[in-house]
Amino acid sequence: MKFASIILLVVLSISLYAQRPTSNPVTKINKRPKLVVGIVVDQMRYDYISKYYAKFSENGFKKLMNQGFNCKNTNYNFAPTYTGPGHASIYSGTSPAFHGIIGNDWFVREKNKTTYVTDDSSVQTVGVGSVNGGKMSPRNLLSSTIGDELRLYSNFKSKVISVSLKDRGAILPGGHLSNGSYWFDSGSGNFITSTYYMKELPKWVVDFNELHLAEKYLSQPWNTLLPIAQYTESEADDNPYEGLYSGETKPIFPHNLPAMHSKNDFGIIRSSPSGNSIIKDIALAALKGEGLGKGDFTDLLAISFSATDYIGHKMGPQSIEIEDTYLRLDRDLGELINYLEKNYGKENIILFLTADHGAAYVPSELIDNKMNAGYFNTKGFGDSLKSHLLKTYHDTNLVSSVINNQIYLNHKIITDKNISLKEIEEEIASYSLTFAGIANAYPGYLLNGYSYKNKMALLIQNGYTIKRSGDIALFLEPAWLEELSPTGTTHGSAYSYDTHVPLLWYGGNIKAGYSCEPVEIIDISPTIAALLDIMAPNASTGKPILSITN
């Protein structure tokens, strides 16, 4: 009996010990940062951060790379890769198939016309700017964003502010519940918004506009930051693959910005590094004017640098102009990061930097170097397709539009003529393959339900939504662009030069390091949600990046 009592006492002791609360609970609640800063660089190829590394300062890209975490294998999981879909996907955590932003423009069958991604005729311009420049809102965005979820979680006590040169670069990251989304108006040189958000600009934006920074930035020619001989990573300054600025006869430095703008047209700032600098300026003004990160709840500031895209389209990725733009952007980033650390402390912020898409090399340059590349004539293709359909179906009006490498059919005429939609989709897809530069064509009925195993087809499918997308999607060969200009570049494909983008993380609880594990752009918002212990956006299909959250 004595032995049995001892055994019982030991068992009870073990049981009671097991029920004691542990000092290291299984559930970990993250310390929330004061501020999340999202930075999107428009048209930034992944390789720019290594290509220009030696010339970067210690305070911008290098600091993010060396003291933050570098997700080296980050890609878009859909096509087309444009500004609107890119920004929407970063902040919604899902692809166009679910958030509905399938392009910067798309054809609307019900209205028989093309619409712009943020067009909204029900709102008006707020601020001194062009009448139509402010008729914009996020109403076309079907899903919530990480900012929306932050606002809902905090019972609308968190603040969300977004700024960009482009309206879509400010509106889509800000989401539906933004406290203020502001974009640049070329006619006035001011930042404006719409009545979707507010009835009048806050004082800090009015004060910012009264500084007339656009005019000041454009008062000096654009010359290189460093001696031009040091730009060894780029093509010669004078080469046939770069476009011309207004009034120029050669694409060379210096670019005479003062001669390219007038009292009523400040648009040239978009195509100069100063376009990024003025976004840095208004971002700093927003931090101060809104008191971001100073309240009891986490705030979000979304910044989109767009001058890189305008310059890239005109000059291409091998130009000295692009290299100089990134060297200057690096200095702007350094100023922004320094302000954040000084006023909040690194431990109280989470910052990420990525891009809305990459860019192709200039096809004419590749052709001259005996590589496969080309230019796809969309209009010529559309005219030829109509002629083919006239012979086959005796009608020239079966195609309503060709846009974003997608063919929209006139469903009413097809129904009235008792033509099978599936049959005509297959006929057009087959006919399309006879054209140079088209690698494949996908009928809409397959994109809407068929499970593709081919990666490129899957990316097109992820960018497809039946209510807004076309009936046939065209897929071009590598380095073929849907533009005819032999200078400059563009983007939109499912190839790595468009999908592979930087993703850098920095701030509190972000360990220094890097990973080559595959990451998708739709993983960014779920990662932020995990760090903040809030819900991911309501249509999110991404997953938290374990290298960041663990």
Express each pLDDT in 440-470 by its tens digit: 999 999 999 888 889 999 999 999 999 999 9
Contact call for residues 241 and 252 (beta carbons, < 8 A): no
10 Å Cβ neighbour count for 414? 20
The pLDDT, as a whole number, for residue 535 is: 98
Residue 118 DSSP SS3? coil
Yes or no: is domain 35-367+494-549 CATH 3.30.310.80?
A: no
E-assigned strand segments in 425-464: 438-443
Per-residue pLDDT at 450: 85
The predicted model scores a pTM of 0.94
pLDDT-based confidence at residue 164 (cuts at 50, 70, 90) = very high
- Look at residue 143 and give its three-state secondary structure: coil
| CA neighbours closer than 13 Å in the CB half-sphere of residue 249 | 0
Which of 4-8, 358-362, 366-370, 412-416 is least confident? 4-8
> Structure tokens of 225?
């930051």
Q: Which CATH architecture has domain 377-436+438-476?
A: 2-Layer Sandwich (3.30)
Average pLDDT over residues 338-353: 98
Could you tell me the two tokens for 141? 């965005």
Question: Hey, which residues are catalytic here?
Answer: 83
Q: What is the pLDDT of residue 449?
A: 82
User: What gap in Å lies between CA 520 and CA 249, rounded to an integer?
Assistant: 42
- Report residue 28's pLDDT band, with 50, 70 and 90 as the boundaries: low
In terms of Cα–Cα distance, which of 190, 223, 194 is closest to 209? 190
SS3 of 223, please? coil
Q: Where in the chain is the domain with CATH 3.40.720.10?
A: 35-367+494-549
Residue 33 has pLDDT above 60, yes or no: yes
Give every CB contact of residue 193 below 8 A, 6+ residues apart in sequence. Answer: 126, 127, 134, 180, 181, 182, 183, 201, 205
**Residue 322, SS3?**
helix
Which pLDDT belongs to residue 484?
77
Confidence at residue 231, expressed as pLDDT on a 0 to 100 scale? 98
Domain with CATH 3.30.1360.150 in the chain: 377-436+438-476
- Looking up tokens 């100073």 gives 294
Coil, strand, or helix at residue 2? Answer: helix
- CA 416, distance to chain mean position in Å, is 41
DSSP helix/strand/coil, 225:
coil
